Chain A
Amino acid sequence: MKNFKGSLFYLGLLVFLVFAMLAFTGCGGEDAVDEPDGVDTDDEVPGESVLRVALQTNPNTIEPATGDTRTASNVAWSIFNSLVWLNDEGVVVPSLAESWEISDDGLVYTFKLREDVVFHNGYPFTADDVVFTWERGQGSDITYREDFLAIAEMVKTDDYTVEARLDAPNAFILLLMNEHWGILSQQYHEEVGEEGYLQNPVGTGPFKFVEWRAGDRIVLEAFEDYWEEGYPKVDRVIYRPIPDTSTRFAALVNDDIDIVSNLGPEQADAVVAADGVSLVTYGQDRVYYVTFNNMSTGIGTPIEDKLVRQAMSYAIDYDAIIDRLFDGYAERVSGFIIPGNLGHDPSVTPYPYDPDKARELLADAGYPDGFAIEMAGPSETYTNFEQVLQAVAGYWAEIGIDVDLQFMESGMFWDLQANRELTPLFGDSWSSSTGEAYPRLIGSVGGEDASYAAWLDPVLVDMVKEVEMTADSIERAEVYTRILKYMFEDPPFIYLYAPTAFEAINDRVKNYNPRISEQYYLKGVSVE
């Protein structure tokens, strides 16, 4: 037993070492507060209100024109302002422009700028910065350059007035500006260059940039000279990227984080059950669909027949798919213009599940025994989407349509889609972030130039063009409603569902209002 004693000695040493390490690391954490040179943003300063926000992905940049995800632009809009802002009610209101006028022909927008605005580094905001932002936005490396190219010319008429000139009327100019036009300081950009600007961004927004530790955190603090009276409501914002959904949930419940987004339905019930946190849900502005392809491989197949497409729409038990694959957390949609979008008409109700009617229509179209067709989908790209497409194929098999379903890696899938080499049917999704269905429509049925389009219908192309030309939002709503009805009657797509977004907040957080586009602004959010 002497050996055993020797090992006990070793074990004692081990225990001692582990405790020493724990003590060392533990105490170290507390010492840091007293460290004069401690770059320690981890510890909260007493009396300071801090908002801790979880991010699903790492932003590539935190500047609105180059940030390539919704996550990135959400951070960016804490730092930047545009000339206009789409408020929580969906109305375009003044921001850095205090007013604007639109010429009668709709070709010239004259913006009168605020004169009391400064950038975070103290540089004044003038018309030069607006013109510069427009020029820089057209660079080939700018992710959203289309939004800047939409304006043919940007002219400074005096220090606080600019004129945006268009080649053709465009109903969306103000919405585009709200999306990606974060106004940059020309003077600062000249000093630090593009790369320097992106690494140390300076804007006019409610929060100023403090620190970005790669993969770890982005720290912002309230901008004391912010032009909008009474904002922001917290002293500091700390964004933490947490890629894993379960960890995001744990961080919220553990009070390490105040706001989490992109939770799954499996966490929703757990959030409801947990103390001190609340669930925030809303339908996302994204439509999942199966498209019919009459621009390439689908030419000459039965799907060119309207009755066949209607039959296929009737053949699917959408509610069962939503119940079984999403625990009921998704909305049926009747088209690409969904509830919450301008021009949505609730009288157009989604296709019901009616297999008998489907068989009847199929027989009317001349295919009583069905037919065989190919369908493709991206793998591991959207939640449960493979299972959805498998279910869809199963329902079609029941009315005699034999679907050869193939999944491919998403990059390859989108390559083939852009090259118009995909199958006669394929599943995908399309989102919109403007509150209107226009981006979805122009991209998918906008005509030959739209590279991801698979369906060509000249009537539809003209109607989508009409949307673009109609500046008045009430008239535009009517056009949208016409499109909704047309696309329901003669469906270019199988409209599957719009997903539900799950977010959760600590109960201390007040006034957090994410939008259906998964956009949120933190300037009005407070912590009690």
Chain B
Amino acid sequence: MRYLLSKLLYSIALLLGVLFLVFLLLHITGDPVSLMVSRHATPADIEALREELGFNRPLLVQFGDFLTSAIQGDFGNSFRYRQPAMDLVIQRIPATIELASVALLMAILMGVTIGILGGSNPNTILDSIARGIGLLGQTIPTFWLGLILIIIFSLNLGWFPSFGRETFTFLGLTLPNKSIILPAFALSLFTTGQLARFTRSAVMEVMNEDYVTTARSKGLKKKRIYFNYILKNSAIPLISIIGVQFSYLLSGSIYIETIFSWPGLGNLLAEAVSTRDFFLVQATAFFTSLVVIGLQFFTDLIYALVDPRIRYR
């Protein structure tokens, strides 16, 4: 219980810290007023608008104001869109969740497979290939990869559309069709590399454990050893990695979403930053940090449940 409480308090403090940092970085570079008025506006007009929007007050007062209304669910209106900022964020959430989920699924399938293949055949050619893919996945710049994928799979092969989210209706749900494959694949590659490397070392470690040797010497079937002993025990540390990676996928898709013109949060954030739409940036930052910190919190919880050794008193 104490463990849970301390983790929760830590998460809230972290969220506040992130919000303050975002707030500070935005305001340090001036305010959006000069972008909002027309170029014919007089200095007096600009000052009047600044006054009206409250940008001439001390920063801490503005931040306090933002927090007070944010707690009540009011994140202010987007200057550009003339709509509540949180509404705009919520519109974009499904697209990002779809992309992150498909990417995570791809990453787990590919990364864990590669990791197991490499880890259970250490120091073979297969292992080298697996390690190579793992390394590549983590080092290829995603924006470059995105363009290469478009060139190969859209322009040359014509298998997938070059951009955007096309949908179909299934059981009353609007789901993306194959247009999600390229962006999800591009997004998944970093996580694939991470999971491949991690799984490989986890499998190798477990394979050398005494209980595996014992099982072998007792003459248990290889398949049984494999699934009951090795994979099961390798899976425990993977859970926390997957949790962290999912939060990364949910928040880190600015490049991918922009390149593939995927109508998600990353796309919105990139646009909001470039147009200095402060409240929209803050609402997006709030949502993504909430997701990242929240997922981290739940991963810690699950981790504690799965691994009986973790008990804080």
Contact = CB atoms under 8 A, between A and B. Distances in A.
B109 A412 contact: no
Contacts of B92: 214-215
A256 B161 CA distance: 7
Given A144-B38, A254-B155, A195 B261 contact: no
Given A26-B177, A215-B267, A443-B39, A42 B30 contact: no
B29 A412 contact: yes
Contact of A242 (B105, B178, B261): B261
Contacts of B34: 411, 414-415, 418
A215 B264 contact: yes
A18 B155 contact: no
A5 to B, nearest CB: 8
Interface string A236-261: 00001111101100110110100000
Interface in A379-424: 409, 411-412, 414-415, 418-420
Contacts of B252: none
Interface string A18-44: 100110011011011001011110100
A412 B268 CA distance: 23
Contacts, number: 184
A195 B161 CA distance: 34
A215 B222 CA distance: 52
A85 to B, nearest CB: 23
Point out which of A42, A419, A443, A450 has the most chain B C-beta atoms below 10 A from its C-beta: A42
A184 to B, nearest CB: 15
A60 B121 CA distance: 56
B82 A10 contact: no
B24 interface: no
B113 A31 contact: no
A452 interface: yes
Size bin of chain B's contact surface: 35 or more
Nearest to A242: B261
B136 interface: no
Interface in B200-237: 222-223, 226-227
B40 interface: yes
Contacts of A449: 42
A32 B268 CA distance: 28
A66 B83 CA distance: 13
A420 to B, nearest CB: 8
Contact of A198 (B82, B106, B259): B82
B155 A250 contact: yes
A7 B40 contact: no
A139 to B, nearest CB: 11
A443 B42 CA distance: 10
Contact of B170 (A28, A243, A244): A28
A470 interface: no
A58 B29 CA distance: 24
A250 B39 contact: no
Interface string B108-124: 01100100110011000
Nearest to A408: B29
A278 interface: no
Interface residues of A, number: 67
A195 B166 contact: no
Interface in A444-469: 449-452
A29 B162 contact: no
Interface in B171-186: 172, 174-178, 180-181
Given A6-B226, A7-B116, A18-B109, A29 B268 contact: no
Given A25-B176, A247-B162, A3 B120 contact: yes
B66 to A, nearest CB: 19
Contacts of B41: 418, 451
Interface stretch (B6-14, B15-23, B146-154, B296-304): B146-154
B261 A254 contact: no
Interface in A78-104: none
A502 B168 CA distance: 34
Given A25-B180, A419-B43, A451-B43, A215 B162 contact: no
A418 B46 contact: yes
B38 A143 contact: yes
A68 interface: yes
A242 B257 CA distance: 10
Contact of A251 (B81, B91, B162, B270): B162
A159 interface: no
B287 interface: no
B167 to A, nearest CB: 7
Interface string B33-51: 1110011111101100000
A29 B178 contact: yes
A415 B176 contact: no
Contacts of A37: 169, 172
B46 A451 contact: yes
B141 interface: no
A14 B83 CA distance: 44
Contacts of B158: 254
B261 A25 contact: no
A402 B126 CA distance: 62
A6 B230 CA distance: 12
Given A213-B263, A409-B29, A35 B164 contact: no
Contacts of A213: 263
B276 interface: yes
Contacts of A372: none
A3 B222 contact: yes
Contact of B271 (A18, A32, A243): A243
Given A26-B178, A247-B162, A411-B31, A61 B82 contact: yes
Contact of B113 (A10, A216, A415): A10
B13 to A, nearest CB: 30
Given A60-B80, A60-B82, A25 B167 contact: no
B259 to A, nearest CB: 5
Contacts of B258: 243-244
B88 interface: yes
B165 interface: yes
Contact of B263 (A22, A28, A216, A443): A216
Lowest 10 A-B CB distances belong to which pairs? A215-B263, A32-B168, A2-B222, A29-B177, A216-B263, A60-B80, A414-B34, A250-B162, A214-B91, A242-B261
19 contacts: A6-B226, A7-B116, A17-B109, A26-B178, A40-B168, A216-B164, A242-B163, A243-B261, A246-B147, A250-B155, A250-B162, A254-B158, A411-B30, A415-B30, A415-B31, A418-B43, A418-B46, A442-B40, A443-B39
